[in-house]
Amino acid sequence: MSADGKLAEFMCQVSLMELTVERARELRQIHRFHHPDECIVHLEAAYLLLLAEDD
């Protein structure tokens, strides 16, 4: 699913596409209390932000 849709704000078990750094920060904030092992959105957002730090 596209990361800019509102569904990612409510669903934890979706794989995100076209995730920007800004949107990753938003989604990580929204899903911040979810355990990464149980929330794909949290995990994918954190991974993208980790990669962005290396640039």
Q: What is the pLDDT of residues 1-15, one digit of tens each?
A: 677 778 878 888 888
- 3-state secondary structure (DSSP) of residue 40: helix
pLDDT at 1: 63
Each residue of 2-55: pLDDT tens digit?
Answer: 777 788 788 888 888 888 999 999 999 999 999 888 999 999 999 999 999 876
pLDDT at 4: 74
Beta-bridge partner residues of 51: none
pTM: 0.81
Q: CA–CA separation, 32 vs 54, rounded Å?
A: 22
CB 3 within 8 A of CB 18: yes
pLDDT at 5: 74
